[in-house]
Amino acid sequence: MTTATVSPVETSRSLKSRILGAPSAGPLLVLIGFCLIFALSNPRFLATHNLSIILQQTVIIGVLAIGQTLVILTAGIDLAVGAICVLGTIVAGKLVNLGYDPVLSMGFAILLCTAAGLAAGGLVSGLRLPPFIVTLGILGILTAALRLISEGGAFPVRDPFLAWTGNTMKLGGFVLTYGVLIMFALYAIVWYLLNQTKWGRHVYAIGNNTEAARLVGIPVRRHLLSVYLLAGLIYGIAAWLALGRIPNADPNAMQSANLDSITAVVIGGTSLFGGRGGLIGTLIGALIVGVLRNGLTLAGIDPLWQDLVTGILVIIAVALDQMSRRKS
């Protein structure tokens, strides 16, 4: 009896094909490509100070993109991510400025953001309304309500607890905020939920085929509700991180949060049609958005052009996803 042996060359090829075939391999190559382009065009780009800034600037969109990933994996979309996050900053800021305990104020604000996610999930799962319409409606409601609450203007929020996530620590040559560490911790926790639990497998199943998931006994409505609830909780945490980065509550803030979070998710390899993708790709996608904006800023490109480039990237990513689906 003979046993087949695998040569080192074949093993190397197999490992190489697995790495290149990973869903996050494409986004990672794009990230490396952008870094090379900006590094060659501006030597300041690779300075540890600038790389630290990129990480800090990525925090809010990176965390919002976690919730957006969960919703998109179920074949939905959330157009209220920025508004729910701003809700958290306005409510926490107002309560603290009125003299309430900052910990309780932030906790209540996060609870409200979670309730907003729960409301969206209830309408999507209970009444079976399209996520696009539901979250668009919530966006309109919150935009008007926040302007009424804040009387149309921004106001400063000066409290050590609310600003704590913006405190810095040195790691080698990098200066990281606690918000960056919280972002990575959230990615690790939600990655575990999606990849190592039955709940996560059910999320992918619902995104692939809702009716098939229902027929095999998965409680689709309950799982959709839990996805939107968790997303709302994450948006609330993002509000705390936002106050740490900029100690200011502004009802007109985060105008591009919806586009940027969707861009991070889609560029990261998660399909807008649901059921495919993951958080590692989303993190890389968020870094791509951060690198792109930072590199273009260093090059002196107007922010309006940056939004234009971001929109083009979304269209390209969705087109590539559609072509890959047709091939499979």
pLDDT for 21 beyond 60: no
Average pLDDT of 121-137? 95
What is residue 14's predicted lDDT score, i.e. its pLDDT? 55
pLDDT for 13 beyond 80: no
CA atoms within 13 A on the CB side of 72: 28
Cα 57 from Cα 283, distance rounded (Å) = 13
Residue 25 confidence class, pLDDT cut points 50, 70, 90: confident
What is residue 10's predicted lDDT score, i.e. its pLDDT? 55
Average pLDDT of 92-107? 95
Average pLDDT of 215-228? 95
Strands 174-177 vs 168-171: parallel, antiparallel or unpaired: antiparallel
Query: Which pair of structure tokens corresponds to residue 86?
Result: 């701003």
What is residue 80's predicted lDDT score, i.e. its pLDDT? 96
Average pLDDT of 196-225? 95
- CA distances to 74, 126, 139, 303 from 115, in Å: 19, 15, 14, 33
What is residue 325's predicted lDDT score, i.e. its pLDDT? 66
pLDDT for 5 beyond 60: no
Angle at alpha carbon of residue 24, lines to 66 and 28, rounded to 5°: 100
What is residue 181's predicted lDDT score, i.e. its pLDDT? 96
Give the distance, in angstroms, between the CA of residue 16 and the centroid of all CA atoms in the same chain.
29
SS (H, E, C) the chain: CCCCCCCHHHHHHHHHHHHHHCCCHHHHHHHHHHHHHHHHHCHHHHCHHHHHHHHHHHHHHHHHHHHHHHHHHCCCCCCCHHHHHHHHHHHHHHHHHCCCCHHHHHHHHHHHHHHHHHHHHHHHHHCCCCHHHHHHHHHHHHHHHHHHHCCCCCEECCCCCCCHHHCEEEECCEEEEHHHHHHHHHHHHHHHHHHHCHHHHHHHHHHHCHHHHHHCCCCHHHHHHHHHHHHHHHHHHHHHHHHHHCCEECCCCCCCHHHHHHHHHHHCCCCCCCCCCCHHHHHHHHHHHHHHHHHHHHCCCCHHHHHHHHHHHHHHHHHHHHHHHHHC
* Higher pLDDT among residues 239 and 2, named by residue: 239
Cα 227 from Cα 207, distance rounded (Å) = 12
Average pLDDT of 43-58? 93
What is residue 153's predicted lDDT score, i.e. its pLDDT? 83
Cα 223 from Cα 121, distance rounded (Å) = 9
Flag the least confident range among 43-57, 149-163, 308-322: 308-322
pLDDT tens digits along 61-89: 999 999 999 999 999 999 999 999 999 99
What is residue 201's predicted lDDT score, i.e. its pLDDT? 96
Residue 233 near residue 117, CB atoms below 8 Å: yes
What is residue 26's predicted lDDT score, i.e. its pLDDT? 83
Residue 285 near residue 265, CB atoms below 8 Å: yes
**Residue tagged 């390899």 (tokens):** 269
Flag the least confident range among 204-208, 281-285, 305-309: 305-309
What pTM was computed for the model?
0.91
What is residue 171's predicted lDDT score, i.e. its pLDDT? 83
Average pLDDT of 196-209? 96
* Higher pLDDT among residues 4 and 206, named by residue: 206
What is residue 307's predicted lDDT score, i.e. its pLDDT? 81
What is residue 4's predicted lDDT score, i.e. its pLDDT? 52
pLDDT for 101 beyond 70: yes
What is residue 254's predicted lDDT score, i.e. its pLDDT? 92
Residue 106 confidence class, pLDDT cut points 50, 70, 90: very high
